[in-house]
Amino acid sequence: MKRHPFNILILLIAVQTTFSCAPLPALGPTPAKKVLASQGFDTEKITGMSDWDKVLSPWIGTPYMYGGNTKRGTDCSGFVGSVYMEKEKKKLPRTTTDGYNNGKSVDKSDLVVGDLVFFGEKKKVNHVGIYIGKGNFMHASTSQGVTVTPLDDNHWKTLYMGARRYL
């Protein structure tokens, strides 16, 4: 039996109509606190996080894109700069090196929410994130996009170079 292309098209439309669902409503961004809670963090003890939550939340899961600074794609310094511009109306240096060479130096034990944390190797800074409290920072990871990571993560703790305060 020879099938006519029109009959196949009708069959495909019927199958799609029968088995398709109505469009799902947009879920919106996942609040950073919810993501942190799902990872086992005690979000109620993250001092000052609520002030940052609405600015940081929409960035979670944003894909990594070298040179990017939007929620369609961002690199680490683009993410940090865009968040600071949105929340504090403050322009930060665009590169991690310039960011590290400016701002007020902060001891790791004195970090507060909003401080920038810097990472690198052999005195060359090549990554930045925003400290969000309780030993965690949010950053644009090349492998995971914008995510939350503990400062004492096996990878990042060996690369930690210091912190700067811009607030």
Residues with a catalytic annotation lie at 76, 127, 139
CB of 117 closer than 8 Å to CB of 129: yes
Contacts 24+ apart (CB under 8 A), 75-82: 75/140, 76/127, 76/128, 76/129, 76/139, 76/140, 77/128, 78/140, 79/139, 79/140, 79/146, 80/116, 80/128, 80/129, 80/130, 80/139
CB of 163 closer than 8 Å to CB of 106: yes
CB of 121 closer than 8 Å to CB of 165: no
